[in-house]
Amino acid sequence: MADVVTQHCGTVETMEIVPWTLFFDGSTCDRGAGIGIVLISPRGRKYEFSLTIVATSTNNQAEYQALIKGLVLLREVNADVVEIFGDSMLIINQLAGSYDCRSEVLITYHEKSIQLLKEFKDFRLEHVPRLHNEEANRLAQHASGYQPMTNIISAVGADDWRKEIIDYLMDPSKKVERRVRFQATKYVLLEDDCIIELLMGFFSDA
């Protein structure tokens, strides 16, 4: 399993496909747990996700969950190649095969990550200092309640232009105006818990 990861890591630099970029981080504190994800499309567009997760016993669990969610989002938009950056040396090295994952607590997350990585044509893993992962860290700390943050979209209100598109995507059988059906063809609903953080347009002009 580790050999597969190592092999992929060694081929990304020669690929012709412009990769997506994924920065991830997890945060746990007395108030809760959260994950932060920053995705950058091949065209340079940036998308940020700050998601609350079920409280975990270790920060490593939150880190793995952030990575897994980021990979799932990328597969939903049919990304083929990705460069992954995280400040957890443990997780990066476990996935690269440099470290064994022997923790009963982490093994499930590790196996899920490996499974998702295999779905990409190519990927590269790189450990970065916390300083170079500030945005993902900021988003994760906001979600966990450790560091409140302003200017975060917390809901799609009734008067938000996206709401009718989201409602239709959640129930395509409902009757809506032709305009709404046409607009909805440009978007894909990832998961209910990601609607709020998702910037509509993620798929049409990424």
Closest CA to 191 of 100, 69, 19: 69
The strand pair at 32-40 and 46-53 is best described as antiparallel
Mean pLDDT over residues 171-190, rounded? 72
Query: CB of 141 within 8 A of CB of 36?
Result: yes
> Please, what is the average pLDDT of the chain?
79
Q: Tell me which DSSP letter residue 19 carries.
A: P
- Can you tell me the mean pLDDT for 10-33? 80
The pLDDT of residue 49 is 86
- Which are the contacts of 107, defined by CB distance < 8 A and separation ≥ 6? 101
Residue 9 — very low, low, confident or very high, per pLDDT cuts 50/70/90?
Answer: low
Side chain identity, residue 69? K
Indicate whether 116 pLDDT > 80: yes
CA torsion through residues 116, 200, 182, 167, sign: positive
Other beta carbons less than 10 A from residue 198's beta carbon: 21
More confident of the two residues 178 and 160: 178
Instruction: Report, as an integer, the average pLDDT of 115-127.
Output: 96
The better pLDDT of the pair 169, 149 is held by 169
In the numeric block, the tokens 């490996």 are attached to 114
Q: How far apart are CA 26 and CA 4, in angstroms?
A: 25
The two structure tokens encoding residue 205: 């002009």
Tokens encoding 167? 């409602």
